Amino acid sequence: MKHLSSPSRPALLLLALASLASAATAPRAMRLDYYHTGDAARELFSVDRVVLEPLPWAGNPARAVDDTNLGKYFFEVRDQKTDRVLFSRGFASIYGEWETTDEARTVNRTFQESLRFPAPDAPVRVVLKKRDRQNVFREIWTTAVDPKDIFIDRARPRPPGRVIPVQRTGDPATKVDLLILGDGYTAREQVKFERDARRLVEVLFSTSPFKERRRDFNVWALAPPAFESGVSRPSSGIYRDSPVGAAYDAFGSERYVLTFDNRAFRKAAQFAPYEFVEILTNSKTYGGGGIHNLYSTVAADSAWADYVFVHEFGHHFAGLADEYYTSSVAYLPSTERVEPWEPNATALLDPANLKWKDLVAPDTPIPTPWGKEAFEKFSLETQRRRGRIRAEKRPESVMDALFREQLGQEARMFARERYGTRVGAFEGAMYEARGYYRPQLDCIMFSRTARFCAVCRRAVERVIDFYTRG
């Protein structure tokens, strides 16, 4: 692929992208890289570096302050002199998930994280907050940033590859900018990456409400060339030095794909306008992951890539909770019942004020009855079969066949349910069989179906509106 290695093409494209983001008026994007250290009981923060990214800030200047109330964490950029909030965003993090695992009870770990915002004109304070046990954001760290500091990294590095405009519908400032970032694709596999990216983007935009809101998105694609094809999968003895660092087995969960190399991820992503990032791994084994306002991942060649892409993007984009509860996960059960911040799950502490009450028909009972015991019995047997397949190291196609069988049986079970198409409060969500409820019987956040429930659709639309409306 001679055109990919030409030194002039990436530089020229970088200039073109910069012009799209109203370079004459928009500040450059600034990134605060920091270290997040601790365990289940305490956490500590320290600055790594401040970077001026190569491109102008691509966000909507009219929506600088986040009012979505999403995320476990929240940060504000405050003018140092007036204390006025210039910018804010809610988000979740790998640390925020890790601290709920059993390992965090006995081990300290450090994670790399970043906060991105428009470069300020004058000194600012960056204030980081976290939800307390009542779900209220409390300040946990603050640091000063002076835009005139000589140690801010102002370098304009060379792009690691060609940025592909998959879909360009307008100025990034008024669009949702999605970056498809490839990992584990060699220089000879760049055509495959572009094909994978375009295929999965079409899947996303065939799913409501993304389908109806397609014109609100710009989509870019970039895959830094890898030395070897594929990404690491330690449980199978596979190790790769992939450019973005994505790997299976995050937190000991064999199908959970994350990158813990935040610096590598940010170094590659900074060459395209983005608010959201989907990492495509050049791998076949079922896998993926999604963290709100960080990134989502999918194994591009998995038989279930279409489902995983949209499901995990739901976590990343709209802060949607997992609604399933019968699959094994790495997280410990919660000890307290607090109303989740996620828009599609509830602890039902106040049934009369259900957060999606306006979508519930008057004759729908709350909680909403469903064939929970029969479903759990079937799911338990499916889990046993999955365990045997994995223990016997049978081909991935055998597992895929089991998943297809499971999906068909669930569809038949749900079709018999009296309230199967209603919005209500169905017990079983957020990895727990008791105490958490989901809005509808089925949803892409619950099973391997291909559709979002009404509550999740609305949550997605609200985020689209936030990034695109004045």
Domains and CATH numbers, the chain: 28-145 (2.60.40.3250), 164-322 (3.40.390.10), 351-460 (no CATH)
What's the rounded mean pLDDT across residues 391-406? 91
Question: Which alpha helices (H) appear in 70-218, and where do they start and end?
Answer: 94-98, 190-204
Question: Could you tell me which residues are beta bridge partners of residue 239?
Answer: none
178 alpha carbon, distance to own chain's centre: 11
Q: How confident is the model at residue 12, as a pLDDT?
A: 42
Q: Which two tokens stand for residue 220?
A: 């870019």
Q: pTM of the full predicted structure?
A: 0.92
| Mean pLDDT estimate for the chain | 93
Alpha-carbon gap, residue 89 to 115, rounded angstroms: 9
Q: How confident is the model at residue 335, as a pLDDT?
A: 63
Name every residue whose Cβ is closer than 8 Å to that of residue 97 and which is 6 or more positions away in sequence: 251, 291, 331
State phi, psi for 281 to the nearest 5 degrees.
-95, 135
Beta strands in 330-431 (DSSP E): 423-429
User: Which of 41-45, 56-60, 121-125, 386-390 shows the lowest mean pLDDT across its residues?
Assistant: 386-390
pLDDT digits (tens, 9 = 90+) for 169-213: 999 999 999 999 999 999 999 999 999 999 999 999 999 999 999
Alpha-carbon gap, residue 413 to 441, rounded angstroms: 11
> Which of residues 13 and 249 earns the better pLDDT score?
249
What's the rounded mean pLDDT across residues 328-348? 79
Q: How confident is the model at residue 328, as a pLDDT?
A: 60
16 alpha carbon, distance to own chain's centre: 28
> Which of residues 246 and 11 earns the better pLDDT score?
246
Dihedral sign for Cα 168, 173, 177, 183, please: positive
Number of neighbours of residue 84 by Cβ within 10 angstroms: 11
Q: How far is CA 454 from CA 208, 215, 274, 335, in A?
A: 10, 21, 27, 29
β-strands 176-183, 217-222: how paired? parallel
What's the rounded mean pLDDT across residues 32-36? 98
Q: Which two tokens stand for residue 290?
A: 């999604």
Task: Assess contact for 434 and 322: CB atoms under 8 A.
Answer: no
Alpha-carbon gap, residue 20 to 272, rounded angstroms: 11
The DSSP code for 332 is P
Q: What three-state secondary structure class fits 432?
A: strand
Alpha-carbon gap, residue 190 to 225, rounded angstroms: 8
pLDDT band per the 50, 70, 90 thresholds, residue 75:
very high
b/e code 209-247 from CB counts within 10 Å (16+ = b): ebeebeebbbbbbbbbbbeeebbbbeeeeeebebbbbbb
pLDDT digits (tens, 9 = 90+) for 268-303: 999 999 999 999 999 999 999 999 999 999 999 999
